[in-house]
């Protein structure tokens, strides 16, 4: 079984403008054949896809894409997206609800945000080649957007192991381990810049693997932050940006990214990555 992964996919602003006069597949360039090699395809959806809502007050950047652009995800064969990030509620809870329904109608699974905390925490389950792949998504960004038992929002957890919310995250991972043959945890964590891996990210990634994660995929940073194999399980600390309209930092090189192809084998998990300049 092969899983194809990309980092942040942001379809708002200039990308949204481009798509008003271009085919949905155009934004992917020649990447789609690479993704097509995988049985499961994942992305972090770094925007809200909805026609309604109003910009969240006081926020510097608002990323929204027209509802029709869900076709971009379909064009790349994306099976499941993480919504646990700092742009999912850029246009408010109403737009989030619209996007959840839109993704459901188009058969794109999602994790990390929902109409309440239970929905935000619920793993997405993708079935391929007779294998159940579970995806849990969380973020340490935007604590004010955390879902509650009665309100929509994100699956929020900090990266401090002693925090009770992290203990609950690890308990969720242990439970999900029983319902799937392969378990992936998506973490939208940390700052936007810097190539170094924060120590708290590494400690939490190790704890996630010890709890049962077969693969940990980080994002939020605009750049790639390296891969570690811990107890035979790959940890991608930051997959970086993949599709967006951001200015290029010549030092950080946020114009370079990867499609990650993860092979799952009976005796462990090996990774192959394909370099793509964006």
Q: DSSP strand E in the chain: where?
A: 2-9, 40-45, 48-49, 64-65, 80-82, 109-111, 113-114, 124-128, 131-139, 153-154, 182-188, 215-219, 227-230, 233-236, 241-243, 256-265, 268-277
- Cα distance between residue 67 and residue 50, in whole Å: 4
How high is the pLDDT of residue 265? 63
- Exposure string of 162-176, with b = 16+ CB inside 10 Å and e = fewer, is eeebbeebbebbeeb
Single pTM value for the model: 0.96
CB 137 within 8 A of CB 91: no
Q: Is 2 helix (H, G, I), strand (E, B) or coil?
A: strand
CATH code for 2-277?
3.60.21.10
CB 259 within 8 A of CB 7: no
How high is the pLDDT of residue 266? 47
How high is the pLDDT of residue 196? 80
How high is the pLDDT of residue 193? 75
First to last CA, the chain: 27
pLDDT of the chain along its 278 residues, tens only? 899 999 999 999 999 999 999 999 999 999 999 999 999 999 999 999 999 999 999 999 999 999 999 999 999 999 999 999 999 999 999 999 999 999 999 999 999 999 999 999 999 999 998 899 999 999 999 999 999 999 999 999 999 999 999 999 999 999 999 889 999 999 999 988 777 889 999 999 999 999 999 999 999 999 988 899 999 999 999 999 999 999 898 888 888 889 999 987 644 565 666 656 55
Domain boundaries, the chain: 2-277
């Amino acid at each position: 079984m092969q899983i194809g992964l990309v980092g942040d996919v942001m379809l708002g602003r200039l990308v949204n403008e481009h798509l008003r006069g271009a085919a949905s597949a155009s934004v992917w360039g020649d990447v789609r054949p690479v993704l097509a090699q995988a049985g499961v395809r994942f992305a972090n959806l770094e925007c809200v896809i909805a026609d309604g809502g109003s910009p969240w007050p006081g926020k510097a950047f608002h990323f929204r894409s027209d509802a029709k652009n869900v076709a971009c995800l379909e064009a790349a064969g994306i099976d499941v997206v993480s919504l646990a990030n700092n742009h999912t509620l850029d246009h408010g809870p109403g737009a989030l609800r619209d996007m959840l329904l839109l993704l459901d109608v188009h058969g794109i699974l999602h994790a990390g945000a929902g109409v309440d905390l239970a929905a935000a925490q619920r793993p997405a389950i993708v079935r391929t080649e007779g294998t159940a792949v579970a995806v849990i998504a969380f973020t340490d960004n935007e604590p004010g957007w955390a879902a509650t038992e009665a309100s929509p929002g994100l699956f929020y957890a900090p990266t401090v192991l002693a925090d009770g919310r992290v203990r609950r995250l690890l308990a969720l991972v242990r439970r999900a381990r029983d319902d799937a043959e392969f378990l992936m945890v998506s973490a939208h964590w940390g700052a936007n810049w810097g190539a170094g891996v924060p120590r708290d990210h590494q400690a939490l990634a190790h704890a996630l693997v010890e709890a049962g994660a077969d693969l940990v995929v980080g994002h939020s940073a605009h750049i790639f932050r390296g891969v570690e194999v811990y107890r035979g399980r790959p940890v991608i600390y930051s997959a970086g940006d993949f599709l967006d309209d951001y200015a290029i930092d010549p030092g950080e090189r946020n114009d370079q990214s990867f499609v990650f192809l993860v092979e799952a084998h009976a005796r462990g998990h090996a990774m192959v990555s394909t370099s793509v300049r964006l």
